């Protein structure tokens, strides 16, 4: 009997169109997410409901996206990432069609909730890239995928505004459904299925517990002003949310195959990245909600900028487009300084944007400046997050881990939508039965975003500093001759893992150059980590072996730069013949 396992190396055949197609799927998700931003101020009238209830048309999408990301990530790890990517997009198309045929609040919320499931496409796309692409292409590809949220949002705002201004607003949903169908067709035609599979089963109780806990948390945020912040209902729901999430956490720690591996989450690199991600999510959605409304309010209010829906969309569009242009900048900065540095830099730029925005609300061109600055900061921050996560978990957990990270961002956007919607509704002036947002509400929203960024920056500063000095691990006798001083060029580093993802200590990693000569060797530490310097850039083979595991030989390329190439090596199970 022969036992085989998957490896930690990129597998499958990735065509040159893989990254653009997956990025397009991310753009479609962003279009769905920001579809109604141009008409957000008109939603109470369009749906004949109160402003606090209309907020749920946006919040429901973000909430379902928050729940869907770890669910779809885990299902992708278990049953195939491409399969779940197509399923996510299909649910989004169904939800768009439901919303396209109704003007009633509850059916609209149902449709928007279904559309939120498309958020699972982001971690699934990143997971597919991790499984299919060589290491040298992975960083820039993940940055593009992560930034696709901003790109899609930037493109969607003026396009959605143009459609809503000149046609029936329901046409927005038909357009989103069409884009979803196109993304499904391209995915089926171009993207191969990943052979990587995780062990275990799907955690249905964990999914239900997470969903219930988040709903119980966000409902009193949106309705607290109506019910009273000290009312029994509001406090009771907050208490119930805390109890459900606590029980959910205990259950996740005890179940054999949890939806969210909280032990993995407890690693400092993962924990602080996820906490920072919540704050990045808050900062992204505040500007998307505030600027379009400020730009469209009539000048008669004394602070509105009197722009049409289309012009407002064009002025806010650079928020997303700048995120797209920061992807290559991120790749260069990250290659030189690491993703921790780019996350901190991005958060600092966001803080500058919101801080300056508090005093730049009196002219349309100032909104353009705010959008560009915030887009640059959010683009750097978003691009850094998947690289930080992937560097901290085994390949078999990348779908679930990135799903959890996207969950954190989604929780941030959900809380942002609920809180900003509550602030704007609570501070609004009522003129002729219509709630008009005030400048005070806009500034309070920006202050909330600034505070969130400050917390995110603090979390990023707690991230472990990467050990960037290449070194060799050698035993006192057998490998004493292999230990060498730091080379002029950084080399390869990573971890040696067993088939189940556990680190393998004292595994021998040998570096072989293009002529077949040994160029270096190392023994892994207790965490499975190794580091090898290279004499020159070029093609190499990394051979790894350890007792109780099958051998592995993995091709690797070093460009000759000063930044080490990260490469995890997964040893197959020992071949057993019965």
User: Do 18-202+257-461 and 480-570 have matching folds?
Assistant: no
Per-residue pLDDT band for 577 (boundaries 50, 70, 90) equals very low
Residues 6+ apart with CB under 8 A from 261: 252, 397, 400, 401
198/277: higher pLDDT: 277
Q: State what percent of residues in the chain have pLDDT above 70.
A: 82
Q: pLDDT at residue 134 above 60?
A: yes
> What average pLDDT score do residues 571-578 get?
53
DSSP element (H, E) containing 570: strand 569-570
Residues 296, 181: Cα–Cα separation, whole Å: 32
Q: d(Cα 276, Cα 111) in Å, to the nearest integer?
A: 30
Does the pLDDT of residue 13 top 80, yes or no?
no
Give tens-digit pLDDT for 522-538: 888 777 888 888 777 77
**What pLDDT score was predicted for residue 123?**
77
Give, in order, the Cα–Cα distances in Å from 19 to each of 10, 93, 125.
14, 22, 9
pLDDT at residue 164 greater than cutoff 60: yes
* Residue 267 buriedness (CB in 10 A; 0-12 / 13-18 / 19+): middle
Domain map (residue ranges) of the chain: 18-202+257-461, 480-570
* E strands in 239-342: none
Q: Taking a C-beta distance cutoff of 8 angstroms, is the pair 24, 183 a contact?
A: yes
SS3 sequence of 479-538? CHHHCCCCCCEEEEEEEEECCCCCECCCCEEEEECCCCCEEEEEECCCCCEEEEEECCCE
Classified as helix, coil or strand, 555 is: strand
Tokens 């390329």 belong to residue: 557
| Contact indicator for 542, 511 with CB cutoff of 8 Å | yes
For residue 240 the two structure tokens come to 């119930």
d(C-alpha 249, C-alpha 290), whole Å: 35
Q: In sequence order, what are the residues at sequence separation of 6 or more whose Cβ sits closer than 8 angstroms to the Cβ of residue 425?
A: 51, 52, 55, 225, 435
Rounded CA-CA distance 46/39 in Å is 9
pLDDT in tens, 70-100: 788 788 888 888 899 999 999 999 999 999 9
Query: What pLDDT does 140 receive?
Result: 67
- What whole-number percentage of the chain has pLDDT above 90? 12
User: Which residues does 387 contact at the CB level (< 8 Å), separation at least 6?
Assistant: 139, 142, 143, 334, 339
Dihedrals phi, psi of 202, to nearest 5 degrees: -85, 135
Task: Check pLDDT > 70 for residue 397.
Answer: no
Q: What was the pLDDT predicted at 462?
A: 85
Q: What pLDDT is recorded for position 398?
A: 57
- Give the pLDDT mean for 257-273: 77
* pLDDT (mean) for 64-68: 79
More reliable by pLDDT, 558 or 230: 230
Look at 536 and 360; give whichever has higher pLDDT: 360
- On whether the CB atoms of residues 57 and 106 are closer than 8 A, the answer is no
- Reply yes or no on whether the pLDDT at 470 is more than 60: no
d(CA 32, CA 272) in angstroms, rounded, equals 29
Q: Which residues on neighbouring strands pair with residue 509, listed in sequence order?
A: 522, 544
Lowest-confidence pick of 228-237, 255-264, 475-484, 489-498: 475-484
pLDDT at 146 (0 to 100): 63
Q: What's CA 324's distance to the chain center, in Å?
A: 15
**Model confidence at 576, in pLDDT bands (50, 70, 90)?**
very low
SS3 labels along 138-204? HHHHHHHHHHHHHHHHHHHHHHHHHHHHHCCCCHHHHHHHHHHHHHHHHHHHHCCCCCCCCCCCCCH
* H or E element at residue 557: strand 552-558
Nearest to 397 by CA among 306, 501, 499, 470: 501
pLDDT over 80 (residue 192): yes
Q: Cα-flanking dihedrals φ and ψ of residue 359, to 5°? A: -110, 5
The predicted structure's pLDDT at residue 242: 93
What's the whole-number mean pLDDT along residues 23-32? 85
pLDDT at 482: 35
Q: Considering Cα of 387, then 389, then 392, then 396, what sign does the dihedral take?
A: negative
* pLDDT tens-digit map of 105-126: 899 999 999 998 888 887 788 7
Bridge-partner residues for 512, per DSSP? 518, 541
pLDDT band at 27 (very low <50, low <70, confident <90, very high): confident
CA distances to 75, 204, 388, 394, 397 from 201, rounded to whole Å, are: 9, 9, 26, 18, 14
Q: What is the DSSP letter of 120?
A: G
Which pLDDT score is estimated for 125? Answer: 85
Region label for 495, one of left (φ > 0), alpha (ψ between -120 and 50) or beta (otherwise): beta
Q: Domain 18-202+257-461, what fold?
A: Growth Hormone; Chain: A; (1.20.1250)
Report the range out of 166-170, 326-330, 476-480, 569-573 with the highest average pLDDT: 166-170
Q: What is the DSSP letter of 303?
A: S
Would you say residue 1 has pLDDT above 70?
A: no
Q: Within 10 Å of residue 325's Cβ, how many Cβ atoms?
A: 15
Q: For the domain bounded by 480-570, which CATH number is listed?
A: 2.60.40.1120
| Collapsed DSSP state (helix, strand, coil) of residue 226 | helix
147-151, 265-269, 530-534: range with highest mean pLDDT: 530-534
Instruction: Share the mean pLDDT of the chain.
Output: 78
Is residue 206 exposed (0-12), middle (13-18) or buried (19+ Cβ within 10 Å)? buried
């Amino acid at each position: 009997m022969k036992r085989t396992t998957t490896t930690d190396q990129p597998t499958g055949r990735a065509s040159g169109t893989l990254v653009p197609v997956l990025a397009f799927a991310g753009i479609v998700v962003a279009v769905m997410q920001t579809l109604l931003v141009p008409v957000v101020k008109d939603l109470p009238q369009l749906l004949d409901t109160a402003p606090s209830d209309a907020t749920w048309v946006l919040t429901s999408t973000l909430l379902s996206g928050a729940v869907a990301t770890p669910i779809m990530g885990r299902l992708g790890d278990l049953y195939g990432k491409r399969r779940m990517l197509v399923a996510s997009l299909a649910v989004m198309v169904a939800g768009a069609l439901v919303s396209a045929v109704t003007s009633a609040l509850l059916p609209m919320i149902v449709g928007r909730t279904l559309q939120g499931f498309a958020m699972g496409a982001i971690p699934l796309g990143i997971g597919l890239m991790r499984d299919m692409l060589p290491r040298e292409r992975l960083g820039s590809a993940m940055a593009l995928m992560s930034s696709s949220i901003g790109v899609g949002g930037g493109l969607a705002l003026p396009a959605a505004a143009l459609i809503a201004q000149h046609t029936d607003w329901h046409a927005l949903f038909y357009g989103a459904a069409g884009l979803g169908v196109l993304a499904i067709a391209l995915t089926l035609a171009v993207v191969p299925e990943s052979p990587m599979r995780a062990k275990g089963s799907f955690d249905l109780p964990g999914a239900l517990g997470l969903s219930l806990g988040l709903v119980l948390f966000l409902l009193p945020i949106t309705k607290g002003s109506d019910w009273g912040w000290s009312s029994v209902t509001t406090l009771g729901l907050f208490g119930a949310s805390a109890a459900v999430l606590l029980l959910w956490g205990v259950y996740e720690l005890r179940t054999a195959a949890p939806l969210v591996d909280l032990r993995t989450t407890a690693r400092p690199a993962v924990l602080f990245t996820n906490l920072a991600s919540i704050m990045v999510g808050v900062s992204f959605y505040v500007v998307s909600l505030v600027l379009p409304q400020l730009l469209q309010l009539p000048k008669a209010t004394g602070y509105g900028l009197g722009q049409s829906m289309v012009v407002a969309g064009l002025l806010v569009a650079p928020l997303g487009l700048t995120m797209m242009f920061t992807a290559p900048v991120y790749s260069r900065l990250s290659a030189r300084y690491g993703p921790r540095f780019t996350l901190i830099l991005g958060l600092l730029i966001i803080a500058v944007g919101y801080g300056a925005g508090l005093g730049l609300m009196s002219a349309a061109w100032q909104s353009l400046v705010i959008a560009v600055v915030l887009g640059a900061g959010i683009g750097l921050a978003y691009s850094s997050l998947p690289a930080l996560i992937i560097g901290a978990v085994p390949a078999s957990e990348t779908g679930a881990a990135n799903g959890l990270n996207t969950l954190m961002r989604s929780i941030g956007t959900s809380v942002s939508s609920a809180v900003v919607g509550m602030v704007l509704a609570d501070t609004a002036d009522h003129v002729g039965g219509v709630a008009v947002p005030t400048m005070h509400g806009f500034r309070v929203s920006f202050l909330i975003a600034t505070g969130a960024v400050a917390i995110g920056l603090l979390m990023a500063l707690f991230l472990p500093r990467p050990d960037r000095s290449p070194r060799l691990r050698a035993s006192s006798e057998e490998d004493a001759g292999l230990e060498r001083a730091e080379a002029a060029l950084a080399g390869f580093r990573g971890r040696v893992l067993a088939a189940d993802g556990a680190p393998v200590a004292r595994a021998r990693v040998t570096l072989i150059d293009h002529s077949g000569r040994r160029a270096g060797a190392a023994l892994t530490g207790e965490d499975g980590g190794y580091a090898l310097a290279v004499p020159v850039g070029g093609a190499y083979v990394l051979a790894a072996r350890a007792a109780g595991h099958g051998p592995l030989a993995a091709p690797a390329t070093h460009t000759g730069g000063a930044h080490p190439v990260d490469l995890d090596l997964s040893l197959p199970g020992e071949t057993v013949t019965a």
